Amino acid sequence: MSSAGQKTDMEHKNLNKDELDLFTHLMSLPNPYGFPLPLLESNFKVDGSTIWRFPVKDDPVTHTRNIQSLPMKEDDIFIAAYMKCGTHWVAEMLHMLLKGSIKYSEKTKESTMLEVVCDLDTLTHMQSPRVLNSHLYMVHLPREIVQKKIKIIHLLRQPKDVAVSWYHHMKHMHSTVAFTFEKYLDAYVQEDLIPTSHQFNYLRQMSEFEKLHPDHPIIHIHYEDLKLDPVPVVQKLAKFIGVSAKEAFCQQVVEACHFDMMIKADESRKLPANIEDKITKKAFYRKGIMGDWKNHFTVAQNEMFDD
């Protein structure tokens, strides 16, 4: 990708010295797949696993260490998921189940997403039970999750649909002609995906976490189950978090959290100030369907991905 092509991502912004230094640094990084410039990272690692450049004031390593030492409350609920697996969706369902009311949360899920919360201390003022979330590996999350056996809701989705949705998410954030699905998929399967590794690595580390902590309260929720037969899944969630919810109420939750309803609800909610200029809400909602990967993968790409 040429320097001129890369510059289109940031040329219209007024950069301060720190931003200019970062921009210059990113321009110097190898970019064989044509990734949008702001997504290029420096491959930071904490405790052996890769992290990315978070949109917060501290450097990535410092912020991760702060996350690891974050105090947890006994009744906290934690959503752990790879990108594009339905975190917005399930967070809204949990909010309604905990409140016992079909009323949308006043804040977006990014306000409790640990890697984008600038001041983690603000989370201590949240009303309990708190619903926190993250796309980080378990090793990077608060240590007290294990110590206090905090309930974990692990979200999963068909890997090919995840790959397609993640590509469009990044493309929407920073559109460049050079960033094609073909190049993106090559980077993905070769574990050169920037800014994070692929879903299979995430699933492997989650499986390892369960082996190390076999008695930890964790529930696995599949995106496809929520699409095909959502009411039993919502009932399952309610039971897991310890709230009473009749079938009729769970049906109301499902209807209120329909894809189109979620888009409408988000219109009145603001993203945290530190990310509102880096992403738009449209990046979170594209189609919300199953099987869209068939509209993107060639036969050869499908075989490569399966291998």
pLDDT in tens, 56-72: 889 999 999 999 999 99
Better-predicted residue by pLDDT, 225 or 55 = 225
The pTM (predicted TM-score) of the whole model is 0.87
Residue 56 to residue 266: CA distance in whole angstroms: 23
Regarding the domain with residue range 44-298, which homologous superfamily does it belong to in the CATH classification?
A: P-loop containing nucleotide triphosphate hydrolases (3.40.50.300)
- In this prediction, residues 12-18 reach a mean pLDDT of 62
Higher pLDDT, 234 or 37: 234
Tell me the average pLDDT across 25-50: 78
pLDDT above 70: percentage of residues in the chain: 86
pLDDT at 197 > cutoff 90? no
Domain residue extents for the chain: 44-298
- Model confidence over 214-267: pLDDT tens digits? 999 999 999 999 999 999 999 999 999 999 999 999 999 999 999 888 878 777
Q: What is the pLDDT of residue 130?
A: 97
Q: Within a 10 A sphere around the Cβ of 89, how many other Cβ atoms?
A: 21
Would you say residue 305 has pLDDT above 90? yes
